Amino acid sequence: MTAPSSRRLLLRDIPGRFTHVNGEAAAPDPVPTSEYFGVNAFGARQMRDKLPKQAYNKLKEAILLGKKLDIEIAPIVARVIRQWAQSHGVTHFTHWFQPQTGLTAEKHDAFLTFDEDKQPMEAFTGAQLVQSEPDASSFPSGGLRATWEARGYTAWNPASPVFIVETAGTRTLYIPSVYVGYNGEALDEMTPLLRSSDALSNKARKLLELLGDEGVYRVTTTLGVEQEYFLIDRGYFAMRPDLVMARRTLIGAEPSRGQQLEDHYFAGIPERVQGCMAEVERELYKLGVPIVTRHNEVAPSQYEMAPMYEDTDVAVDHNQLVMATLRRIAERHNFHALLHEKPFAGVNGSGKHCNWSAAVAATNPEIDGVNLLKPGTTPHANLRFMLFLAAVLKGVNKHQGLLRASVAGSGNEHRLGANEAPPAIMSAFVGAALTGMIEEIIEGRSPKNAAQAMLQLGVEKLPEIARDNTDRNRTSPFAFTGNKFEFRAVGSSQSIAFPVTVLNAAVAEAIDELTVALEKEINGKGSVDDAVLRVVRDAFKESSPIRFEGNGYSEEWVKEAAKRGLLNLAGTPDALAQLNTPHAKQLFSSLGVMTEAELESRYHVRLERYVKDILIEAHTLREMVDTFVVPSALTYAGMLAQSAAAASTAGIKTVPHVAEANRIGEMIEQLEQHRTALRQACTKAGGMHDDPEQLAQYLTAEVRDIMLEVRNCCDVLEMALPDESWPLPKYREMLFPV
């Protein structure tokens, strides 16, 4: 057991606690951000300047239209990329991909090869750029690959820029890639996302064509990702086995002061933290990640950074870079970045708000760049806006269970439903202005003629209204915020690829259904705009249950949601079960986003991860009780008993010492009972590994409750023992550093 004094000396003696590890504070770059932004990224714009025109045009088709990359241009592109990389001192390259771990993976290879005379030289072939072969048996596949089926492939995704990562004095070329099995099965998070983007684009293009909007060659979704996180001293992190193993505190008494004074949100950023933030931003700027916001969050030692919106496929890669860079740079400042959704019980956890919209790419300048979720300048443009708004609400209403499943996990379970995050019930907030318009359309109070309806509803004047013409609703998991929807339920440590894949697919299906309905309405029934109004009316009526403008935290909403038939999936196993429903399989297979086998694999991977997370927490908690809590409590109780005995021998009255020793003994006895129950529960869980669904339900229904009882006992002991007798860093030390 670590001596009480050692834990303070350990932190105090860490070199560079208040500076860089080299003893010098990080100095800001002396040049404007615009002069070095993207210096370590090599995308379509840079390739346009370096590639022959014909090769660039073929590459552009692959990027913009989703066409297969012409293998003939691969050697030319590879040569240009290698020359650029070597000019930046790069010696190695890697295919960078996103397996179903929520993280990224990479295997570095050198540019080094040998010519026919066995002389060393640098080389990077087209084949090396386009494809690599990592071991497919060593990543979670949910049954898509057996242990002995090791072959898998990574393939370059040209839509995302290649980039250089600088770390530990080295520079490595990273090639964003997808990851598939020998038979083409999607083993990663990115492949289904790209498929869902294509599906939504194809469906939206068809609908826009039906509306008379010509020249559209792609509809892209856009995303801006707000990343929340905690920063604590590395020394404290290293002394907490629960933070090291589970990334959250499994025991720990709440401090007398937490966030109740509301003095941290948007407060002045501590100097040491700001130095860390600034270096993170500089590294991200070099990579072309457009971070524009940083601030203190609600909980002490909690912070947030956010970028400008980008194409979703690129934004997903960039969010992974944000998390990785944050972890790496934090260590240079002797911080540890905690991305867990709820690292500290009793104070707010962290989320990842995903601001999602859709934009048009067209040869027609009148519609090129149009945000489909932003009101336009004409009645027709606003009918188009209302139609796509209806599609989003329709998709979210129909596939609320899948959206909940997409954010399910052991960490997010601690956050969803608390007074800091959306409840486990999916709902959509659109604001008072749009709600009024929608209700009038549903009730038929507006004229049947579309042009007159737009005038009566005031929709033709929407562009003149301030973008934030409605109040924000922080309790809504899916809120319209003027020109986009904010998917607030995503957890801070999660990959955003799967939640956005589900959202893309749900909206794509809804667009397709509205297109079919609109085609029927147009046939011999007057103008397209009038037909749109009729279709929108039906869609808004159908999706009425999902729209909610009130307090999502309230018990009244839980009751109201049940009346509406909305799902309340508080537990991860129940939420993940939505991936196995017939309508889920139909959705993804019909759009070509995932086969039934690929979808089933996502269910098994996520269920297995949930089980492993809870078991790691349970075993870590047992270890902490056995090696930290009980020995410390027994030692202190023994000291009290010895003191009382010595005083009694000397004829000194020692009743308080005896009473305190007895009280500590009773606490230890109670803890022992719950520790025994936890040990028995872990043993029972060990016999259920052949049935992961039963095991997940058992861990949810029983083991977590036992863990909470153990924690409560430990927290009472922490408050009872003197500070010098408690071996673990406390909340006040971790959250309020001095």
The more confidently predicted of residues 370 and 737 is 370
717/505 Cα distance (integer angstroms): 50
Closest to 427 in 3D by CA, of 571, 554, 577: 554
Residue 96 CB: number of other CB atoms within 10 A? 24
Concatenated DSSP letters for 436-452? Answer: HHHHHHHHT-S-SSHHH
Strand (E) or helix (H) holding 259: none
Residues 596-643: tens digit of each pLDDT: 999 999 999 999 999 999 999 999 999 999 999 999 999 999 888 888
Integer angstrom CA distances of residue 330 from 165, 226, 334 = 16, 18, 6
Helices (H) and strands (E) in the chain, counts: 27, 18
Do the Cβ atoms of 80 and 86 come closer than 8 Å? no
Do the Cβ atoms of 610 and 572 come closer than 8 Å? yes
Task: Take residue 395 and report the two structure tokens written for it.
Answer: 């998709």
Q: Collect all residues with Cβ–Cβ distance below 8 Å to 715 and sequence separation of at least 6.
A: 251, 252, 253, 254
Residue where the block lists tokens 């927290």: 715
213/364 Cα distance (integer angstroms): 8
Residues 101-140: tens digit of each pLDDT: 999 999 999 999 898 889 898 889 988 998 888 776 788 8
Three-state secondary structure string covering 340-381: CCCCCCCCCCCEEEEEEEEEEEECCCCCCCCECCCCCCCHHH
Task: Take residue 710 and report the two structure tokens written for it.
Answer: 């153990």
Do the Cβ atoms of 561 and 427 come closer than 8 Å? yes
Q: Is the pLDDT of residue 544 over 60?
A: yes
Residues 322-355: tens digit of each pLDDT: 999 999 999 999 999 999 999 999 999 999 999 9
Closest to 108 in 3D by CA, of 188, 176, 172: 172
Residue 146 pLDDT class (50, 70, 90 cuts): low
Residue 533 pLDDT class (50, 70, 90 cuts): confident
Q: Is the pLDDT of residue 665 over 70?
A: yes
Integer angstrom CA distances of residue 647 from 103, 323, 643, 655, 661 = 59, 57, 6, 10, 14
287/285 Cα distance (integer angstroms): 5
Query: What's the confidence (pLDDT) of residue 15?
Result: 40
Do the Cβ atoms of 573 and 611 come closer than 8 Å? no
Where do runs of H (alpha helix) occur along 265-369? Answer: 271-286, 312-332
The percentage of residues in the chain with a pLDDT greater than 90, rounded to a whole number, is 64
The angle at the Cα of 372, spanning 370 to 376, to the nearest 5 degrees, equals: 65
Integer angstrom CA distances of residue 105 from 97, 98, 139, 225 = 5, 6, 10, 21
Residues 403-454: tens digit of each pLDDT: 999 999 999 999 886 556 777 899 999 988 888 888 888 887 655 555 555 5
Strand (E) or helix (H) holding 222: strand 216-233
Do the Cβ atoms of 225 and 354 come closer than 8 Å? yes
Q: Is the pLDDT of residue 8 over 50?
A: no
Concatenated DSSP letters for 99-166? Answer: BTTSS-B--EEESEEE-TTS-EEE---HHHHHEE--BGGGS--TTSS-TT--BEEEEE-TTS-EEEEE
Closest to 427 in 3D by CA, of 537, 555, 540, 564: 564
Task: Take residue 530 and report the two structure tokens written for it.
Answer: 């009038």
Question: Where does residue 27 rank: exposed (0-12), middle (13-18), buried (19+ CB within 10 A)?
Answer: exposed
The alpha carbon of residue 166 and the mean position of all alpha carbons in its chain are separated, in whole angstroms, by: 24
Do the Cβ atoms of 291 and 284 come closer than 8 Å? yes
State phi, psi for 66 to the nearest 5 degrees.
70, 20
pTM for the model = 0.92
Q: Which residues of 488-506 are buried (b: 16+ CB within 10 A; e: fewer)?
A: bbbbbbbbbbbbbbbbbbb
DSSP annotation of 184: S
Coil, helix or strand at residue 258: coil
State phi, psi for 223 to the nearest 5 degrees.
-150, 135
Q: Is the pLDDT of residue 463 over 90?
A: no
- For CA atoms 137, 143, 149, 151, give the dihedral sign: negative
76/69 Cα distance (integer angstroms): 12
Q: Collect all residues with Cβ–Cβ distance below 8 Å to 736 and sequence separation of at least 6.
A: 255, 257, 300, 301
551/561 Cα distance (integer angstroms): 12
Residue 170 CB: number of other CB atoms within 10 A? 12
Concatenated DSSP letters for 647-682? Answer: HHHTT---HHHHHHHHHHHHHHHHHHHHHHHHHHHH
Q: Give me the domains of the chain, ranges plus CATH numbers.
A: 31-188 (3.10.20.70), 196-594 (3.30.590.10), 609-735 (1.20.120.1560)
Task: Take residue 356 and report the two structure tokens written for it.
Answer: 């999602």
In single-letter form, the type of residue at position 729 comes to P
Residue 7 pLDDT class (50, 70, 90 cuts): very low
Residues 465-518: tens digit of each pLDDT: 344 445 567 788 999 988 999 999 999 999 999 999 999 999 999 999 999 999
Task: Take residue 114 and report the two structure tokens written for it.
Answer: 């040998």
Closest to 410 in 3D by CA, of 472, 293, 306, 491: 491
Residues 260-273: tens digit of each pLDDT: 787 888 888 999 99
Residue 174 CB: number of other CB atoms within 10 A? 26
Integer angstrom CA distances of residue 30 from 33, 35, 36, 129, 279 = 9, 10, 11, 35, 13
Task: Take residue 622 and report the two structure tokens written for it.
Answer: 């047992």
